[in-house]
Structure formats: structure tokens, C-alpha cells
Amino acid sequence: MEFRHLRSFLAVAEGLNFTRAAEILHLSQPALTAHIQQLESDLGVQLLDRNRRSVALTPAGAVFQRDAADILHRLVEAERRARQTARGEAGHLRIAFVASAATNLVPPIVLAFRRKYPAVTLDLMNLRSVDQIAQLEDAKIDAGFLRLPIAHRKLEIIPIHKEPFVLVLPAGHPLANKPLFALRDARDEDFLAYGRRWAPGFFDLWFGIFEKAGITPRIIQETGEMGTLLSLVSAGVGIAVVPAGLAAKSGEAIAIRSLPPRSPLSEIGLAVRSGDTNPLLAKLRDLSRAMGRKASVLS
């Protein structure tokens, strides 16, 4: 049984007229008749009652018409989806993100991606940077928005967003309104930190800002969630260093102090497996770069 035979049968069954069906299909009537005869032979049933004056569906033909139409519809959809997938316009992506990127970076990227490629389905999951790396290695996710810096020979890392680090303190802290604040003013403070075990590059980056100034922050508590870190700061447990965009959304219970000019910046990157040829990932990379640059400017 061939799909061209199904198309020929459906054209005849629709109008019950061989001449009209042959014109629609751009076939000769003998070729069209041969298609119908071959289909009936393959099935072992008669689909059409025909004579010189009329054509009618047999009961088997009426049933087969419905099923054949469904088969061809599925084939057309399969062809369409295959072409869309090859162009990077359809398919499925599993994307992870660090929670702190969900405040002002990942949601607009996802929304823009869905609008531009509505035939693509997305699985979104909140994972810490180290967990994203492990799941990318095991092909459990396709892409991840994570905290930089990260170096990994099996991953392609695309920086997409950068912003300053800031020091956050409880509102009313003595350093909150101190004129001419300098890093050395925080040398005796208790620090809270997003733990190195969850984002080692991120931890080393902000910690190095203080070490360069001759200060070793005294860390009394680590956490694996930026939201928890800010809550602890607002409760007066200690002070911390976080990305400026995250601090700006923390509310009135936290005071913010800038770090020295030309300090290293906090960065978020998009990570994918090196050599992954999925065309959807190229489109995600391009969109993430464009929107990430825009977010960096705004922050």
C-alpha cells in the first residue's frame, strides 16, 4: 500500500467522480483507476461500486475513507513537524536555571522564545549551577542558565548577562549610611554566603574582591538559595555580597552599598553540550544573547 494510492482513493471518494479526481491529482484516468485497483488488491476488499454512470462507496469504502483521511492528515502533520524541527522551529527543550536568574532574566527570554517558536515545548527546572553541569554531562537537560565563571571542556558556555556585585546589609546597620564607605569597614563583620559548593566560580569571584583589599570575609553561614540569603540578611544575621539586580528587588529591609569601581562583575551564562547540533539550541543562544545584553544595559 502506497500513500499515493490513498490520495487517489480519497480524491475519488470525495467527489465520487473519476474524471474530476484525475484532474485534481493531475493524473490520467487509467493511472487513477490503476491506483484504486492496486489499493483494493492490497486490502483484499472492494472500496468502490462503479459503472459507466455512477460511483459509490461500499460500506468498507466508507469506513476506509475516514481512516485513510486520518492517516494522511497525520502524515502531513508529521512532514510539517519534521521540516519545522530541521529549521529549529519545533521540538522540545529541557532548560534549567539558577533561581536568581528567574527574577529578571529567564522569564522574558522564555516568553519571547515561546512567542517566536510556538511549536517548541519547554521543560523548565530550577537547578543550582553544579547540578546543571552534572545534568548536562548526563544529557538530562539540554541547556542551563547558570552562574559564571565556569570552565568545562565538554560544555560550551555563552556569557549572556553581567551586572555589578553589591554589599547588602540589614536596614539600620551602622555601615548602611556611613559616609565614604570602603571595603575595610566590613572587615570585622559576619558574612553570609551563597555556598562555594553550589557555585564555586561565583563564590571565588566575590570573595576575591575582598581578598584583593586585604580582607578575608568571616563567613558564619552558607546557603544554597539567594532568596534565603537575602532573608537572613534582612533578619540581621549578617551581611552578604550578591548581584545588584537581585539586591534591587529585595525590599526595604535591606541596605545596599556599592563595591569599588572596576571590581569583577557577576555574570550569568547559557551552557550547552559542546558539539550539540540541535538547531533549537542555536536559536535559544541567539535570543538569550540579545535579551541578556539588553538586561545588562538596564541593570
The pLDDT > 90 percentage for the chain reads 64
Owner of C-alpha cell 529541557:
94
> What is the set of domains in the chain, with CATH numbers?
3-86 (1.10.10.10), 90-159+267-298 (3.40.190.10), 163-266 (3.40.190.10)
Residue 295's pLDDT band (boundaries 50, 70, 90)?
low
pLDDT at 299: 43
On whether the CB atoms of residues 244 and 209 are closer than 8 A, the answer is no
Residue 289 and residue 159 in contact, taking contact as beta carbons nearer than 8 Å: no
Distance, CA of 186 to CA of 198 (rounded, Å): 24
Mean pLDDT of 72-96: 84
C-alpha distances (whole Å) from 25 to each of 10, 22, 112 are 11, 5, 41
Query: What is the tens place of the pLDDT at every residue in 120-148?
Result: 999 999 999 999 999 999 999 999 999 99
The reported pLDDT for the residue numbered 229 is: 94
- Phi, then psi, of 93 in degrees rounded to 5: -130, 140
pLDDT at 76: 83
Neighbours of 29 (CB within 10 A): 12
Rounded mean pLDDT of 2-18? 89
Q: Quick one: which of 42, 22, 17 has its CA closest to 7? A: 22
Burial of 187 (0-12, 13-18, 19+ CB in 10 A): middle
Kindly report the CA angle at 100 between 260 and 266, in degrees rounded to 5? 30
Mean pLDDT of the chain: 90
Question: Can you give the C-alpha Rg of the chain in angstroms?
Answer: 31
Question: Nearest Cα to 131, choosing from 96, 182, 81?
Answer: 96
At 163-193, the pLDDT tens digits run 999 999 999 899 998 998 999 999 999 999 9
3-state secondary structure string across the chain:
CCHHHHHHHHHHHHHCCHHHHHHHHCCCHHHHHHHHHHHHHHHCCCCEEECCCCEEECHHHHHHHHHHHHHHHHHHHHHHHHHHHHCCCEEEEEEEECHHHHCCCHHHHHHHHHHHCCEEEEEEEECCHHHHHHHHHCCCCCEEEEECCCCCCCEEEEEEEEEEEEEEEECCCCCCCCCCCCHHHHCCCEEEEECCCCCHHHHHHHHHHHHHCCCCCEEEEEECCHHHHHHHHHCCCCEEEEEHHHHHCCCCCEEEEECCCCCCEEEEEEEEECCCCCHHHHHHHHHHHHHHHHHHHHC
Task: Give the list of residues 6+ apart from residue 44 with CB closer than 8 angstroms, or none.
Answer: none
